[in-house]
Amino acid sequence: MTTGFGFKLLATDGNARRGEIATPRGSIRTPAFMPVGTAGTVKALYPEQVREAGADILLGNVYHLMLRPGAERVARLGGLHAFMRWPGPILTDSGGFQVMSLSQIRKITEEGAAFQSHLDGSRHMLTPERSIEVQCLLGSDIQMQLDECIEHPAEHAEAERAMELSLRWAERSCAAFERMSKPGQALFGIVQGSVYDDLRRRSADALVAMDLPGYAVGGLAVGEGHDAMLRTLEATLPHLPQQKPRYLMGVGTPEDLIEAVARGIDMFDCVMPTRNGRHGLAFTWNGRVNLRNARHAEDVSPLDPESPCPAARDYSRAYLHHLIKSGEMLGSMLLSWVNTAFYQELMAAMRAAIEQGRFAAWAAETQAKMGGGGS
C-alpha cells in the first residue's frame, strides 16, 4: 500500500524524536512544520520562497480545492504538484474540518457530510470515498481519512459518537485508498475523542490495528486550551507506534510546537505564520513583534539582523510598520515570508537539539527568550 513511503527514527531525546519520512517526491525532515497551501498557494508567498525557507512539504485543502477549481480539473492539468509548481511532497487534509466550520448548511450522517458551499450555495456530499477520490485526483503524497471534528466543549457521549463514526469512516477510507491510490502514496488515520483519555485510547488502538503508515491527532486546538491539549497528547501518544510518524493537526504557536515535540509529535501544520503576517504580527527568536505599534514608526533596525531570511534581515521595522499601516500588499508578503522562514528555523533548531541530546535545555532557553521579548 505504501511502496516508496517510509519513516525512520534517527535520534531521540526523552520523548522528542528526530526522524525522516521518505516519499517518492523527496524526504521530509522531522520534526516538520508544513506551511498551509489551502487553495494551491501559501498565501502571499512564491513556492520558491517557501522552499528556500526550508519547508520540505506543504499542506493542501480538499474542501477548498474540490469546490474551486475542482479536483477533476486539477487532475486534467497534471495534478496539484504541477498546477502549483511545487515539486516536493504534499499532504492533503480530508476536508472534514472545513465542512464542519465553513459550510453554511451541513448534515452529518453515516454516509458522510452533506453541505452547502460557502462560495455559491451549491450542494455537495463528502463521503470517505469521495474524500479519498479527491485526494487521489490531486495526487497528494500523504492523504488523510475523513473524520468528524467536533467543537469544544463536548459531552463524553457526543465525543464518543463522533469518534466511533470517524473509526467507521477510517475503515471506508482505507478500502477506498486501496482501490484508488498509486504506489508511494500513504494514508494517515486521525485519532479523535475530544479531551477524554478513554476515548483517545480506544480511537488510537482501533486505528493502530488498521496498520496505517502514519497517525494524526485531530480535534485539538479547537478551544480546549494549551494545558488540556498537552494533557491529551500525553494520554494519546503512548498508544501510537514508535516506528510511524505522528502528526498534530492545526497547531500552532511556537510554544505549542516546542511542547508537542517534547511529547513525541513529528509533524505540524497551521495557518498562523501567514495569517499573522498578513495582520502585521512577526514571530522572532525574541518573541512576537506587532508592527502596527507606533513604537516601530522610526525604528531603523530590522526584525533580526542575523536571520537568513532577507525580509527579517534587510528591511527596517519602520518600513514594515509603514507598509502594514498603509495596507500595502508588500507588508503582508514580507511578514508572511518572515514568519514562514522563522517557523522553519525553529524546526531546524529542534532537530539539531534532539540530535545533540540537549532538547530540554534548548527548549527552556528558547521559551524563556521568546516569552520575555516581543513588542
Segments of 285-372 assigned E as strands = 287-290
Look-up: residue for cell 492545526? Answer: 250
Taking a C-beta distance cutoff of 8 angstroms, is the pair 290, 375 a contact? Answer: yes
Task: Write the burial class of residue 55 (CB in 10 Å: 0-12 exposed, 13-18 middle, 19+ buried).
Answer: buried
Provide CB contacts within 8 A for 28, sequence distance 6+. 20, 21, 56, 57, 89, 267
* Residue tagged active-site, from 13, 93, 266, 304: 93
Say how many C-beta atoms besides its own lie within 10 A of residue 118's C-beta.
15
**Three-state SS sequence of 154-217:** CCHHHHHHHHHHHHHHHHHHHHHHHHHCCCCCEEEEEECCCCCHHHHHHHHHHHHHCCCCEEEE
Examine the residue annotation and report whether 269 is marked as an active-site residue of this protein: yes
CA distance 362 to 328: 37
Say how many C-beta atoms besides its own lie within 10 A of residue 65's C-beta.
26
CA distance 182 to 135: 11
Strands 90-93 and 287-290: unpaired
DSSP 211-279: T-SEEEE-S-SSSS-HHHHHHHHHHHGGGS-TTS-EEETT---HHHHHHHHHTT--EEEESHHHHHHHT
Cell of 116: 452547502
Examine the residue annotation and report whether 198 is marked as an active-site residue of this protein: no
Angle in degrees, CA 254, 267, 280, rounded to 5: 35
* Residue tagged active-site, from 147, 256, 269, 304: 269
Question: What residues are annotated to the active site?
Answer: 93, 269
